[in-house]
Amino acid sequence: MIRLSAFILATGLVHAQTYDLLLKGGHVIDPRNNIDGPRDVAISGRTIARVAADIPASQARRVANVSGLYVTPGLIDIHVHVYTGTGNRDLTGDQSVYPDGFTFESGVTTVVDAGTSGFRNFPDFKQRVIDRSQTRVLALINIAANGMQGENEHDASDMKPEPLAEMAKQHPQIVVGVKTAHYRHKDWTAVENAVKAGTLADIPVMVDFGSNHPERPIRALFMEKLRPGDIYTHAFSGLRDELLPDGKINPAMFEGRKRGIIFDMGHGSGSFAWNVASAAFQQNFPPDTISSDLHTGSMNGGMKDMTNMMSKIRSEGVPLKEVVRMSSWRAAQVIKRPQYGNLSEGAGADIAVLREIDGKFGYLDVRLARKEGTKKILCEMTVRDGRVVYDLNGLASLEWRDYYRNEPGRGGRKK
């Protein structure tokens, strides 16, 4: 009888501990499932097992008290540059950064490299960075065959849609689109070939429109050259007549949005100006997606990181739920990856735990012009693929006395 009771007790305990990790007491924001309120989130293995009110702590092997915090899908940054380690002194090298050093501390679990590689060097990028990163790294392949290597981006003769589309088809789990960037000539070759490649591979195109030319107005780009679902990044740069001299947002932006063009923030080191952004918000033209354009030139300037950019948008009066949507579910939709950016039961367990504080904060644009804001978003914890990969205040860990209570000598290190 004693043995039977012990067996029942043991099996009951195992049965009770259904989940590996429980995020308890937080405020869940999951735009895909229209959740914006108190919920607990339980994780089993690499999967979100349950989202519900008041899941018993006894059912989890590990519990993180996230009371007073926001639990959101892992953030998705659709414009970064992470093809580094090559030794080149440009974006296909020293000007890019390894993703893991910049993602998890700001709640980002998925990034999209925005055309740093072309079809020729994409295999090297894949083995050098994508395959070795804890961060999920997806990619836009540049229409310029060698990616972002100086003059290569302006060589129209080396912009080949067919091999790019073929490379995309060979890597459908990684390649989510085509990129054209920085093209300085007056013709439409870069855009037209990028769109052709996107059509062949059935993937969207992201455009950094390069130099401003009257022969290539943004209205023609939005209404004639791009397809619905294609992406215009650096939407608040002001470098290509996004803001007119009379202080009005260019009507072509509104026309393009009605046609289905996606407008991405793409902050970077030269593409977010407060005069443009504030006018856009005042005139009801927020971005569809928030992205960083992360590289060595932007990471320590006005951009900083994903939560800093979210704070800027939040301080413009945008509800937190919308800011989260722009940084997760909407981004997933734009890159045609609906399995990401949500907290659905059965989805992969990529989660950000965020804190929002009130106060007076200074936010810089790319020209280091300061605007005061009243909201700041900080990342407390990041879960990637079911594993806690960043925990600012140790919310998912045992208090040290409890940890060492039964193992008093474990902290010693042999000399």
Dump strand ranges (E) for 127-200: 136-142, 175-181
Which of 68, 60, 121 has the alpha carbon at shortest distance from 90?
121
Spatial distance between the Cα atoms of 16 and 11, rounded to a whole number of angstroms: 8
Task: Identify the structural domains of the chain with CATH numbers, from first to last.
Answer: 2-72+377-402 (2.30.40.10), 75-344+359-373 (3.20.20.140)
The low-confidence residues of the chain, meaning pLDDT below 70, are: 1-16, 408-415
User: Whole-angstrom distance between the N-terminal and C-terminal Cα of the chain?
Assistant: 50
DSSP-based three-state secondary structure for 207: strand
pLDDT of residue 17: 78
DSSP-based three-state secondary structure for 410: coil
Strand partners, 354: 70, 379
- Cα-only R_g, the chain: 23
pLDDT of residue 406: 73
Residue type at position 254:
F
Backbone angles phi, psi at 70, to 5 degrees: -105, 130
DSSP 292-310: --BSTTTTTTT---HHHHH
pLDDT tens for 335-369 read 999 999 999 999 999 999 999 999 999 999 999 99
pLDDT of residue 408: 66
pLDDT of residue 87: 96
Residue 315 structure tokens: 């301080």
Task: Give me the residue label for tokens 């007549």.
Answer: 241
DSSP-based three-state secondary structure for 143: coil
Spatial distance between the Cα atoms of 268 and 218, rounded to a whole number of angstroms: 20
